[in-house]
Structure 1
Amino acid sequence: MGTNSVEGEASHVVTIWEVNKERLAQMEKRISDTTPQLLSIAAGRSTCCIFRVPQSLIDINGRSYQPRIVSIGPYHRGQPKLQMMEEHKWRYLRSLLSRTKEAKGITLEDYLKSIHPLEKDARECYSENIHLGTDEFLEMMVLDGCFILELFRKVDNTKLFEPEDPIATMAWILPFFYRDFLRLENQIPFFVLERLFETSKMPEEESGPSLSLLAMRFFNNIMQRPDPIIETCHDLKGLHLLDLVRSSFIPRDEESPPHEVNTPTHIIHCVSKLRRSGIKLNPGKAESFLVVNFRRGVIDMPTITIDDFMSSFLVNCVAFEQCHNGGSKHFTTYATFLDCLVNTAKDVEYLCDRNIVENYFGTEAEVARFINNLGKDVAFDINLCYLSKLFNDVHEYHGNSWHVQYASFKYTYFKTPWSFISAEIALVLLVLSFLQTFYTIYPYYH
């Protein structure tokens, strides 16, 4: 009986599974590779600044984050639809090498060696591990970086364009570059561009514009901001080109976040409701559309042009601020502010009539849809945002019952010239009727 029991137990012994040593080594390598990167992202380290856009934002804004004509950096590298521009990259690199080799003896090897010490820091700028070897990674940085620099120089000095250069002769190409160079997923670190810029600088460029100013001049061909504003950007810094241009709109005295307010901040109402409470909206005169003020019942908003470029720029700035923990949330705040103001196409129509919005995007309904999507599903601390005081002041003014009643009366009876004239005629008739009654009764009374 005992022997049979032991034999039964032995028959149920499970064979020990042998771990695949090769697979185990691969998993351990994956763990060691990814953990520091994930920790750096979770800690909000400033080194991580080039992100894949979250799927939640892609679901809202679609293809606004994907390059249309040129790939910069690793995320969209090798996509078939972007291959046409790869030949132009090599052609521009050849053009740059021919100048620097003749003037300074700088060769391709010198460019690769100049950024080799930056490889580790450059890789840490990306939110994902870049599965490229050192040689391939450095080749990508040099090829993409030199292409950007050459295009900046050629657009700034058109004499550098070679005869029959398609980028110079085909008018439709440059607008795509303006947008593609400012997409969050289509970036290389700015310090890589700076190193390549210094390496490739010609003797006559030593006293010329800085890389920041050269970049801002390039993008101003589409932004059309006043030249004096752009010229002040010579010492501006950014984590990449998107952050550089984004930073140029943030007022220098508002770069640090405001102190936390003691009272909770309130979201404001749309344009039509604000108008019924007596609040007016006027075009402001500040240098940046981010500078919004509220005084004595009037919101001053500098004019913003909404077109294909600005719509792409805005959504990518918001995406960057959502992913990067180390910077301000000015564009996210402004997007939320616009989303509050606009509920319908009528609200957009009013903003256009007041010269606050210049619409080159589409119909008023399309602009309203874009603005509502821009502020949709974004996260930020409203109590710490740069417009927190404005939100509270507008909310308090709107909640004043006297303002609401008086403004509602004006809005109802005097919102058009004809209603105002009708009211004046009615008032005159009322006064005449009173005088007629008075002079009829007055003799009998005496």
Structure 2
Amino acid sequence: MEDSEMVSDENNTRDDVSIQIEDADDTVVSSIGNKLESIAPLSSERCIYRIPQLLRRFNEAAYIPCLISIGPYHRGKESLQAMEQHKLRYLRTFLDFFPNKSLQDYVKALRELYERARQCYAETIFELGVDGFVEMGVDGFVEMMLVDSCFIIVFALKKCHWLGVSNDPIFETMWMSNAIKLDMILLENQLPFFVIEHLLHLACHDSEPRFNILGLMRSHHFFERFYVKTYTDIVPKHFLDFLLHCFMPSSPNGLPQGNGWWEVMPSATELHQAGVKFKVGRSRSLLDVKFSKGVLEIPVLVIDVVTETFFRNLIAWEQCQDLTNPYMISYAVLMDLLINTPNDVSLLIEYGIIKNWLGDNEEVCLLFNKLCKDVIMGDSKMYFSSLCEDLNAYCEIRCHEWQATLRRDYFNTPWKIISFFAAVILLILTLLQTIFSIKH
């Protein structure tokens, strides 16, 4: 009897444990189910990202706006609050300059774009609420789109002299407008381009002149500060994408030649010692680097305080896409290969290829040496692979190095050239005298 009671107790214990496990399983299943339901589906519209931590560790400041927040990622930051009043002033200027539509018309139009615009942002968007940061709602997002879009439009109109700038603090100081333009090219500080274009089209619909934002930028060289000499006709996803397209080759001839592999090659000093001559390229594109008949032609590059921010954000934008031909990464890698030491920088400065406004050649060297740290090449192709192959092949021919040594050591000044030929003439005369003496 006691044995049967013990067996019954054991069975009851097992049943209780089984029920507890099932309850625990149900809790886990419910928890996972809730998490799965809360995941938003990924959109093909995604084009505005937060910079991956892997890329930002070498220079965090290169990705963060210093003056103004555009878009939601940096909205509400205390360090950027001073510009919020300027944004509202520009909104009022926008409404006065385009009086055919009301504030309500613009809000209604942007609310219709909410879903598409929200899908352009790859990250969850937060805003500062009463109890701290909370996920941004529809109203907050629409307000942000309107205020920031109007600021960009009015800023462009003022920059291009369609609107007056008197009594405007942004244009009364030397640094503010340039700082705003720099903030406008940061990957984390973007608005979808179609939002700005739609708002401007709506504002100009029943009035003259009819503006478009790209037209303003083309006609007044808005981004010339960032090495842009020619402007693309491609409608971009945002301003940083616009800059990237301005550098892309416009024809299939611009695609990488050779095997497309990521090549290594000698530095500028080593190339010079091997007989390669350097020349300033006259092209309007940074990518138009050429090597022909022993001459390496490189377009001039001005290095200043914005150069690193410019390159880092373009490289980050390329890294956030699945590109076969990452042009700016290829250019940065090429410059990194050319520049290993401050002596390489000095050589490129000597030939007018680099204009160093930073002052310190060591800084320029470190800039390019760190620019592509932690950049993932993947299956992409190097735009300059054929160029690297040609330079490597040229350096393997020893006579080129001998000729360079001869020019460098014996023909680098007029006096050395005269001395060399005088020595040759003296040697010939001595030889002739010796032969004449032997015969007689």
- Shorter-chain TM-score category? 0.7 to 0.9
* Per-residue Cα deviation, 1:394-445 (whole angstroms, up to 9, x for no partner): 222122233234334544x24742xx74475255246425534642563453
Identify the residue that residue 326 of structure 2 maps to in structure 1: 329
Partners of 2:376 and 2:27 lie apart in 1 by 43
Q: Which amino acid aligns with 1:175?
A: N
Which aligned pairs between 1:32-431 and structure 2 lie closer than 5 A?
32-34=37-39, 36-37=41-42, 40=43, 45=44, 47-101=45-99, 104=100, 106-130=101-125, 131-157=135-161, 159-161=163-165, 163-201=166-204, 203-206=207-210, 208=211, 210-216=212-218, 217=220, 219-220=222-223, 222-223=225-226, 229=230, 233=232, 235-253=233-251, 257-258=255-256, 261-262=258-259, 266-325=263-322, 328-380=325-377, 384-411=381-408, 413-414=409-410, 416-417=412-413, 421-422=415-416, 424-425=418-419, 428-429=422-423, 431=425
Partners of 1:241 and 1:424 lie apart in 2 by 58
* Per-residue Cα deviation, 1:190-221 (whole angstroms, up to 9, x for no partner): 01111111122272222x5x311223436346
| Larger helix proportion of the pair | 1
Task: Say if 1:22 and 1:66 are closer, same or farther in 2 by CA, change over 3 A.
Answer: farther
Partners of 1:171 and 1:408 lie apart in 2 by 49
Partners of 2:182 and 2:331 lie apart in 1 by 20
Q: CA deviation at 1:305?
A: 1.3
Q: Which amino acid aligns with 1:75?
A: Y
- TM-score, length-scaled by structure 1: 0.85
Percentage identity across paired residues of the two chains: 30
Task: Say if 1:122 and 1:87 are closer, same or farther in 2 by CA, change over 3 A.
Answer: same
Q: State whether residues 244 and 314 of structure 2, in contact with CA within 8 Å, keep that contact through their aligned partners in structure 1.
A: yes
Partners of 1:376 and 1:125 lie apart in 2 by 27
Partners of 2:270 and 2:85 lie apart in 1 by 55
Partners of 2:97 and 2:307 lie apart in 1 by 35
Q: Which amino acid aligns with 2:400?
A: H
Q: State whether residues 73 and 141 of structure 1, in contact with CA within 8 Å, keep that contact through their aligned partners in structure 2.
A: yes
Partners of 1:165 and 1:255 lie apart in 2 by 47
Task: Say if 1:32 and 1:354 are closer, same or farther in 2 by CA, change over 3 A.
Answer: farther
Task: Say if 1:187 and 1:225 are closer, same or farther in 2 by CA, change over 3 A.
Answer: closer
Q: State whether residues 303 and 354 of structure 2, in contact with CA within 8 Å, keep that contact through their aligned partners in structure 1.
A: yes
Q: State whether residues 190 and 238 of structure 2, in contact with CA within 8 Å, keep that contact through their aligned partners in structure 1.
A: yes
Partners of 2:369 and 2:202 lie apart in 1 by 45
Task: Say if 1:437 and 1:177 are closer, same or farther in 2 by CA, change over 3 A.
Answer: same
Partners of 1:267 and 1:437 lie apart in 2 by 49
Partners of 1:167 and 1:245 lie apart in 2 by 23
Q: CA deviation at 1:179?
A: 0.6
Partners of 2:203 and 2:154 lie apart in 1 by 10
Q: CA deviation at 1:77?
A: 1.0
Partners of 2:379 and 2:35 lie apart in 1 by 39
Q: Which amino acid aligns with 1:404?
A: E
Q: Secondary structure at the match of 1:16?
A: helix
Q: State whether residues 321 and 328 of structure 1, in contact with CA within 8 Å, keep that contact through their aligned partners in structure 2.
A: no
* Per-residue Cα deviation, 1:325-356 (whole angstroms, up to 9, x for no partner): 25741111101110110001111111111111
Q: State whether residues 265 and 392 of structure 1, in contact with CA within 8 Å, keep that contact through their aligned partners in structure 2.
A: no
**Unaligned runs of at least 5 residues, structure 1:** none
Task: Say if 1:397 and 1:50 are closer, same or farther in 2 by CA, change over 3 A.
Answer: same
Q: CA deviation at 1:246?
A: 2.2
Q: State whether residues 345 and 365 of structure 2, in contact with CA within 8 Å, keep that contact through their aligned partners in structure 1.
A: yes
**Unaligned runs of at least 5 residues, structure 2:** 126-134
Task: Say if 1:152 and 1:120 are closer, same or farther in 2 by CA, change over 3 A.
Answer: same
Task: Say if 1:150 and 1:187 are closer, same or farther in 2 by CA, change over 3 A.
Answer: same
Q: Which amino acid aligns with 1:402?
A: C
Q: State whether residues 256 and 381 of structure 2, in contact with CA within 8 Å, keep that contact through their aligned partners in structure 1.
A: yes
Partners of 2:29 and 2:169 lie apart in 1 by 52
Q: State whether residues 255 and 328 of structure 1, in contact with CA within 8 Å, keep that contact through their aligned partners in structure 2.
A: no
Task: Say if 1:25 and 1:182 are closer, same or farther in 2 by CA, change over 3 A.
Answer: farther
* Per-residue Cα deviation, 1:32-62 (whole angstroms, up to 9, x for no partner): 453622xx5xxxx4x2111111112111233
Task: Say if 1:368 and 1:436 are closer, same or farther in 2 by CA, change over 3 A.
Answer: same
Q: Which amino acid aligns with 2:60?
A: G
- TM-score, length-scaled by structure 2: 0.87
Partners of 1:29 and 1:192 lie apart in 2 by 33
Partners of 2:142 and 2:32 lie apart in 1 by 27
